[in-house]
Structure 1
Amino acid sequence: MGMRPASGEPNPQELLAALLQATSQLAQSASQQDQKLDRLSEKLEIFAEQVSRSASQQDQKLDRLSEKLEILTDQIGRLTEQGRMLDIRLDRVVVAAEMQAETAKVQAEMAKTQAENVAQLLAMLHGKSA
């Protein structure tokens, strides 16, 4: 170290050297902090872009799913209507079949009655001719 003045105060040159060294260290530390902040800022920008891209992709997926859901809802509505129409047609077929069965039953009874009448007539004719 340099010489101290007789009063015991530090040498001004030593103070200046210490001040310059401290200033240099502060400047270096500030520079390092700036570099760290720059790197963090870049990372944050990249992360923000990734989040934005991901959000956009999710929005697109949701839009596609919404469209598919709309299509499925329409298809279900059409199928439900077709099922209802089929039920109506089946009801009509059942009613028609029941009516035909009833008509066939009446016709069978009429045929039976006619057959009995013919049998009686034949019996009467055979009885007269004998």
Structure 2
Amino acid sequence: MSRSRSGIRRLPPFRSCCLICRALPAQPDSRLRLVFQSGDWIPLTLPPAMKSAFPSANIVSLGGATEAAVWSNSFDIGGIDPAWTSIPYGRPIQNAYYYILDGQLEPCPIGVAGELYIGGGLSRRRLP
């Protein structure tokens, strides 16, 4: 990592763990400024370990519909809340929308379980 000129990396959590587990010493002079974590569940211990190794890096969780291989949400992991059992799912990225719908494709009330529908895209045209 120290030879890389890139300031941004996308690392699956497993690869990040491997990097940290190699006892990589802290690199305060690293150019690494942004790490996208995606592709798998992120252990609560990983973001603090990444910050310890790369103090100037911002750690961001990315996620979305696995079957579509797209990112539709992000969460800036600034710190770990002791009450968390996992990293929060995040909020929709720009031009993406989340809907929780019931079996009739109607919006569910807040707090009611349903199916997640992700909308958005590149087109300027909207369907009726």
User: TM-score w.r.t. structure 2 length?
Assistant: 0.16
Q: Which structure is richer in relative contact order (CA contacts within 8 A, separation 6 or more)?
A: 2
Q: Which has the larger radius of gyration?
A: 1
Give the number of the structure whose residues are more often helix, by fraction.
1
